[in-house]
Structures are given as C-alpha cells and as structure tokens.
Structure 1
Amino acid sequence: MTALGFLSPGHAAEDDYPRIEQLLGSDIRVDLAHTDAGGDAHGAGAPRAAVPAERLAAGMEGLRLAGAETLVWASTSGSFAHGWDGAQEQVRALARLAGMPASCTSFAFVHAAREIGVRRVAVGATYPEDVTALFADFLRAGGLEVTGTRSCGITAAEAATWGEEDVLTLARAADVPDAEAVLLPGTELRTAAHVALLEKVLAKPVLTASQVTVWEGLRLADRRVNAPTLGTLFTREPLVQA
C-alpha cells in the first residue's frame, strides 16, 4: 500500500481525489486534509498573499497519523504566487514541517510536462488575466514555452460548479496549433472524469490540476501506475507493477 497525503485549500472539487484513487485501481490510498487558504484565491491581490507553509501545518498531523508517505500542497495559485524560488522555499518548509517528501501542484505541472516530453504548452485558466500571467511566468521559469493563455476571470466558487462541457469549452478555447499539450491549472475544477475525453477532442495531452497533483504524490513515492482513463500522463511504464 502506498499512502499519499494532500493538503487542499477549501472544499472545491475535493471529490476528484477519491475518484482518481478509484481509477488508479491499485494499492494506492489518497488521503485529503483541508486547510483554510483565506478567501478566494482568484480574487484581487490574492497572488501576493500566498499561503505560507506554517499556515498549512494544522492539516499535516492527520495525514501523518493516516500513514501518508508523501505530501503535496494541492493549490496551484497558492504555490506559483510565490514565484519559482519562493515555491521552492515553500516546499522545503512543507517537507521539514511534515517530515516527508513534499511538493505542490505548480511544480507538478512542470514535472508532468517533462514526464510526457512536451515543452510548448497552452494554458486555460479560470483565473483573472494577471493571475494567469503569473502561472505562465512560473512555467517559463521551469523551462516550458507558453504558446498562449486563456483566462475566464471567475471566482473559485463559480468554477467549482462547472461540468464536463464547461471544462471542454475552456480547453478548446485555450488550445493553439503549436501547443504540444494543454494545461488546466484550477484545482477547483472537477476534471478526473473528463481527461480522456479532453485528450480525444483536442488530440493532444491534457494536464489538469487534480490529475498532476496525484501523479506528483506518486512520483515522490517512486511509483508509477498505468491508468489510461487519467490521460497520457498515466500511460507511462510503471516503475512498480500495480
């Protein structure tokens, strides 16, 4: 059994995680703890007030008691808002406080893009344009080329009500011909059930927040699991047979 721990800002799209656990169909356990991120992460000024690691400590104890082996801060804007260097400091602090390997969703996107061998990416975000621009800057700092962005400028609460057609519309709007993959960074979007359809419609890999977050937890645990329903990212050869 491999137990993965995730810290989630609030309760939007939290049902994606047990869904992914089920789709993995393996000896993988996904444990989720909630933390108060303080307001709407999409709101004005939010990117400059990113959550410090110390504020996340309360949720860690439950994950440790549950036997989590790795920890991922499941907030994209709550990590890229620090910038590349700041996010690294945040992750180091998380690892120190948790006593286990740690990462965050923003780094998960960069690592996942590298895993599937893509460099040119398009971004479809529910954020305002200035917040999306910060994520694009973060991706560039990680060595990726951002070929285009699409911003909706809606609140996290509004995005949490979106269904399959809404997510598909965003992905289509973000896609450009020279993008090798499309990234959907909003952790408030329910995407686990839609990745296969998104990739079929766009005819290219699609990376979503909950998908890459769980994959990052597995990466930290030196596990790969073949689960094609979760997209190209989960069709790599497993490091350990599930």
Structure 2
Amino acid sequence: MTTVGILYPGHAAEDDYPTAEKLLGPDVSLPVVHTYGEDLHAVDALLDLGRSDRLAVGAASLSKYHPDAVLWACTSGSFVFGWEGATAQAEGLAAAAGVPATSTSFAFVRAAQALGVRRVAVAASYPAEVATHFAEFLGRGGLSVTGLSSQGIVTAAEVGQLDPADVVELACAHDTPDAEAVLVPDTAMRTVALVDEIEERLGKPVLTANQVTIWAGLRLAGHDGAHDGPGALFRTGRS
C-alpha cells in the first residue's frame, strides 16, 4: 500500500481523491486532511492560506495515516509565494511531516517534464492577477505559456459548484494550437473523472490540479508504475 497524505484547503472538490482511489486501485490510499483560511482567490488571502504554521498543523493531523509522502493540494496557495518561497514552503512541510513533500504548483511542472512538453495553455478559473502568478511560476519551471485564461471566479467554493460540462468546456475553450498540453490549475475544481474526456476532445495531454497532485505524491512515495488513467500522465508510468 502506498499512502499519500493530502492537505486540502477548505471544502470544494476533495471528493476527487476517493474518485482517484477507485481509479488507481486498492494499493493506493489518499487520506485527506483539511486546512482552513479565507476562501478567496486574492494574493494576500492565499499567502495567509499557505502559511507554514497552518501546513504544520495539517501535517500533524496526517501523521495517524503514516503517509509515505505529503502533498499541499493547493496550486494558488503555493505559486503565489514565487519559486523560492514555494520551495521553502515545501521544505518546511516535509520537515513537519517527516516524509517527502511538495505542492500542486511543483507537481504541474514535474508532470509537464515527465510528458516531455514545454509549451502549455492554461485554463484558469482565477482572477487575472492570480492567474498571472501561475504563468510566472511555470516560466521559472522552464515552461512557455501559449495562452492564459482568467475566469475571474473569486472563491474556491464557487469553483467547486461548476458542472462537469462547464469544466470540460473551460478546458477545451482555452487550448491554443501551439500548446502541447492544457493545464487546469485549481484543486477546487472536480477534474479527475473528466481528464480522459477532455484529452479525447483536444487530442493532447491535459494536466489538472488534483490529478497532478496525486501523481506527484505517488512519485515522491516511490510508486511510479503506469495506470489506465486519469489521463496520459498516469498511463506513461514515467517519473
């Protein structure tokens, strides 16, 4: 059994993790512990949400599951710190948890690298200011953003209420012809059960926040085998 502890902010799309457990089989466990802060896609609120003391409390709560790795399942609450700040955040989380740890923001970069893609389109639910921070973070990771959407949705709770059809349309509407993959960066958006459908429509890999979070956690835990999904990322089995 490989256990990846998930620190998830608030409540929105945390049911993506039991959905993923069913897809990945009985050898994968993804226990979720919630952290709390202001539910707002604004830089100051996100910096507060990702504070090291908040994550340390969450790591302590995850310890009862004896995780092999821990993931801060929050894209915006990591990339707003910038590359260096997000690195320090992940290192602090690893120290608090006593196991390898990272965040969704780094998971996106590593997943793109594993697929061998450099040019990506971003279908973001965030306001423009927050979405721009994500594009800058991807740039630091060596990725070129060919298109950046900002839907202007202010809270994670609102994102969690999107219908599956709306999520699919959001991803498909913001592809660009020169993008090698499409990135959907909000862990508040239910996407795990939709990745394959979006990929079929676009004809290219799709990376979503909860999907890459799980993938990165499994890789940190030493579980690098291929699965039937979700998405091309899991089918490659590449670390």
Question: TM-score, normalising length from structure 2?
Answer: 0.95
**Shift of residue 135 of structure 1?**
0.2
**Shift of residue 58 of structure 1?**
1.8
Secondary structure of 1:123 counterpart? strand
**Shift of residue 98 of structure 1?**
1.0
| 2:235 maps to 1:235 | yes
Equivalent residue letter for 1:69:
D
Structure 2 counterpart of 1:198: 198
Query: CA offsets, 1:103-161, max 9 Å, x none?
Result: 00000000000001100000011100110000000000000001110111112111101
For residues 124-135 of structure 1, the aligned pairs below 5 Å read 124-135=123-134
Secondary structure of 1:17 counterpart? helix
User: For the structure 1 residues 192 and 148, does the alpha-carbon distance in structure 2 shift closer, same or farther, using more than 3 Å as the test?
Assistant: same
Secondary structure of 1:112 counterpart? helix
| Conservation of the 8 A alpha-carbon contact between 2:91 and 2:101 | yes
Structure 2 counterpart of 1:140: 139
Deviates more, 1:228-237 or 1:2-11: 228-237
Query: CA offsets, 1:177-217, max 9 Å, x none?
Result: 00000000011000011000000001100000000000010
In the aligned structure 2, how far is the partner of 1:198 from the partner of 1:142? Answer: 24
| Conservation of the 8 A alpha-carbon contact between 1:41 and 1:77 | no
Question: TM-score, normalising length from structure 1?
Answer: 0.94
For residues 78-93 of structure 1, the aligned pairs below 5 Å read 78-93=77-92
Equivalent residue letter for 2:176:
V
| Conservation of the 8 A alpha-carbon contact between 1:74 and 1:213 | yes
CA RMSD in angstroms, aligned pairs only: 1.4
Structure 2 counterpart of 1:170: 170
Structure 2 counterpart of 1:55: 54
For residues 180-195 of structure 1, the aligned pairs below 5 Å read 180-195=180-195
Equivalent residue letter for 1:4:
V
Quote the sequence identity (%). Answer: 52
Secondary structure of 1:229 counterpart? coil
In the aligned structure 2, how far is the partner of 1:237 from the partner of 1:226? Answer: 4
Structure 1 runs not aligned, ≥5 long:
none
Structure 1 counterpart of 2:64: 65
